Amino acid sequence: MAESAYTDISNLGEFKLIEHLTKSFQPIRKEVLLGIGDDAAVWKPADGLIPVVSTDLLIEGVHFDLSYMPLRHLGYKSIIVNLSDIFAMNAEPVCVTVSIAMSNRFPVEALEELYEGIKQACETYGVDLVGGDTSSARQGLMISVTAMGQVEPDKYVTRKGAKPKDLICVTGDVGAAYAGFLVLDREKSVFLGNPELQPDLNDYDYVVGRQLKPEARVDVVRKLREQGIMPTSMMDISDGVASEIHHLCRQSKTGATIYAHKLPIDPQTVKVAEEFGISATTFGMNGGEDYEMIFTVPIQDFEKVKSWQEISIIGHMTDDANVIQVILENGEAADIEAQGWQHFSQRSS
């Protein structure tokens, strides 16, 4: 596209920009009494339900890299990471607000792409965009999303309800998003070294997709409810299994034992781990941004969860809060360090 084809944000101004970017959003939820376009939104939880609120901030250069993250995918992901927190409380999302700050390098057309992704996520998960703000920034792009949801007063799940002997479960597979990040970062380095070479991602579609366009596990949360399974503690996996299990143990005042061979790791993730000389267990324990769920259930629910394909039982809670360990494939026990994906070091476990 020629330079003249782009529209400078200053041509619209703040209020016309917001109106332009949100004009295609249509109301979805009956709980929203007054949506976008006024000084504030008004929404009311359905009868018998209470509100749940979560917020996240995404910063260019810290949480995303626009050299390989399409703006439409970024818009989608910015909503998903917030809805995932709502689902992790065993709640249902209702609406979101989105605020952005951007430098003058972004034309209107770039923000249209961003909001197309936001719209797609809202439609996919049945939530309303009810407000937000735009502001100029000296450099880069920042996105702040607040998600609001609802839940029955006695049905929300926190991080502090786990008991010794509770089973530790995870949904889907883990480590794939970090594998996708490593592949994208490698291809970026290759491209910067030789712009004539085009990225080769044909064999990495799954892990790259998990990094660029994750999904929130609404299906699992709803199925837990349908099957009468009430987790004793739960959170989403944004910083990696190791970090999240430390959160659950600290809040619940328990210890934990996880079995490495029980970690659900996709074969493509294993392939990437081998390419980078890192053990797949390290990927599974420390890779973040999967947005799967990690939760605990009483051991009495074993029969309910053991045959559920989307759930893997990876260990159990213990009564010694000072011991949080993983049993490796060779049978040795190792302390679990809460590194988080951002502190990930390329070394074998």
- CA-to-CA dists, residue 143 to 54, 140, 254, 271, 346, angstroms: 14, 10, 36, 33, 29
CB within 8 Å of 149: residues ≥ 6 apart: 51, 52, 53, 54, 86, 89, 91, 92, 93, 94
Residue 159 lies in a domain: no
Q: Say whether both 128 and 226 belong to one domain.
A: no
- Give the residue from 99, 124, 151 where a domain finishes: 151
Question: Residue 149, class by beta-carbon neighbours within 10 Å (0-12 exposed, 13-18 middle, 19+ buried)?
Answer: buried
Residue 161 lies in a domain: no
Q: Say whether both 144 and 217 belong to one domain.
A: no
- Give the residue from 118, 151, 184 where a domain finishes: 151
Q: Say whether both 49 and 180 belong to one domain.
A: no
Does this model's pTM top 0.85? My answer is yes
The total domain count for the chain is 2
The pLDDT value recorded for residue 13 is: 65
Residue 13 lies in a domain: yes
Q: Cα(349)–Cα(342) distance, rounded to whole angstroms?
A: 17
CATH number for position 234 = 3.90.650.10
CA 207 to chain centre: 14
The pLDDT value recorded for residue 344 is: 36
Q: Say whether both 172 and 224 belong to one domain.
A: yes
Residue 156 lies in a domain: no
pLDDT in tens, 2-58: 455 778 776 776 678 888 889 999 999 999 999 998 899 999 999 999 999 999 999
pLDDT in tens, 257-293: 999 999 999 999 999 999 999 999 999 999 999 999 9
Query: For residue 303, what are the domain limits?
Result: 167-343
- In the block, residue with structure tokens 């074993």: 302
Q: Cα(83)–Cα(206) distance, rounded to whole angstroms?
A: 22
